[in-house]
Amino acid sequence: MDILVFNSGSSSLKYILYRWNEKTILAKGIVERVTMPGSIITHEVIGRQKVDKARDCPTHREAVDLIIEMLTGEDSGVIEDIRQISAVGHRVVHGGEKFNKSVIIDDTALKTFKELSELAPLHNPPNIIGIEAAKEVLPEVIHVAIMDTAWHQTMSDYTYIYPLPYSWYEDYAIRKYGFHGTSLLYVAKRASVLLGNDPFDTNLVLAHLGNGVSFNAVKNGISLDTSMGFTPLEGAVMGTRAGDHDAAIDIYMMEKLGITPKEMNAVLNKQSGLLGITGKYIDRRDIQEAAEKGNTRSKLAIEIETYRGKKYIGAYMAALCGKVDAIVFTAGVGEMSPIIRRKMTDGLDNFGIIMDDKKNSLSKTRNAETDISAEETNTKIFVIPTDEELVMVEDTVALLEGRYDIHTNFTYSFQNPDYRNKLREEAFERELINNPELANIKARIEC
């Protein structure tokens, strides 16, 4: 059974083709500059050279066509016919209060996603475009939507209701929704496995650190609270998003600069965060390099991001009444930046969170789960590479087979202590050739 997964952005279309029976990725890639001149696809097949191919894709329909061509092509292909594809899973950022789990996309679901576009104008429209394009090219197969917001539908009203006129919630659905749910679900379940715990007897603080950043308090295996809110703008400092700040500043500066709400929204989402502080950089590697060379604003950006991240960790520890089994770092920065992890946990020793600096400095891999805790810590510190695509594949297959349910009533394959990701294991073995010490920090499953 071959499952195709799409993650559609406004000018990009990421994909993975997964062979369920063999539990392996056949191919993955991305079409960039969709709707713009100079579109290009980067296509990867395990055991082959990466292929780049330029072809203009004026719409996502042409991008889907190009992906299918690459998947079935004589030189680039991994399947002979698109009829081998059993189903297609789609990332949908915002499911509102309508969905607490993944769903098969019918006309009603698609209509709801369109209605929710007002809540996620930067995300849902491209997601919908990708769905409609894929349904045109692959009309005979089941299409499934996997929502970023679904994981957080377990939050209580006292965590998701804002102290604003209550009628805004009733009439306009103004509330905290939270995002990054697919990633957070994966690492929460994996952390429970590593701890040897029942997932519903596990408390965690999760830190999804990428260009977008969110923290998540997990109580007894379900989402209690999260840093992102009505939109992905709320919360921690991010690559280009402002995160938490006094809303009166926005009104004040709109008057000062004479800009519209739409223009201010662009400033807050695309010109703020680390970019706003440094004036130049988004990538943490560039910021760290500049800081090491004495750039004061890059140093400041690191301090601001990690200080605010530490506050979220502390706040969520309090929300969990001090019972935290593990702090988990994930996503690109969380997986690859020792300095960010170090500074976000620095000084938390009094709370029983103690990092081993050597283990932390070694942990720069996307191919293995690592334990960077000191021996004397009361709370484990894990780095768990996320796998959103696997969650999407499993939800899609389970819906196809009629056995899917909300995550509290559903068990994923990666919750089995014997679960293995063969591709990551092979890549990790290659990493060990040049860095054998990595073997010493690979997380072990507690008995």
Catalytic residues: 148
From CA 220, how far away is CA 320, in angstroms rounded? Answer: 10
According to DSSP, residue 285 is labeled H
CB atoms within 10 A of CB 22: 11
Residue whose C-alpha is closest to residue 364's, from 284, 257, 268: 284
CB atoms within 10 A of CB 285: 12
User: Quick one: how far is CA 144 from the chain centroid?
Assistant: 18
- H or E, element range at 360: helix 357-362
Q: Are 221 and 227 in contact (CB under 8 A)?
A: no
Q: Is 133 helix (H, G, I), strand (E, B) or coil?
A: helix
From CA 308, how far away is CA 344, in angstroms rounded? Answer: 8
According to DSSP, residue 164 is labeled S
- Six-digit token pair at 146? 């996997």
Neighbouring residues of 86: CB distance < 8 A, sequence distance ≥ 6? 1, 2, 3, 20, 141, 142, 400
Residue whose C-alpha is closest to residue 390's, from 20, 11, 35, 95: 20
Strand order in the sheet with 204-209: 222-226, 213-219, 204-209, 326-330, 380-383, 370-371
- Six-digit token pair at 46? 């395990």
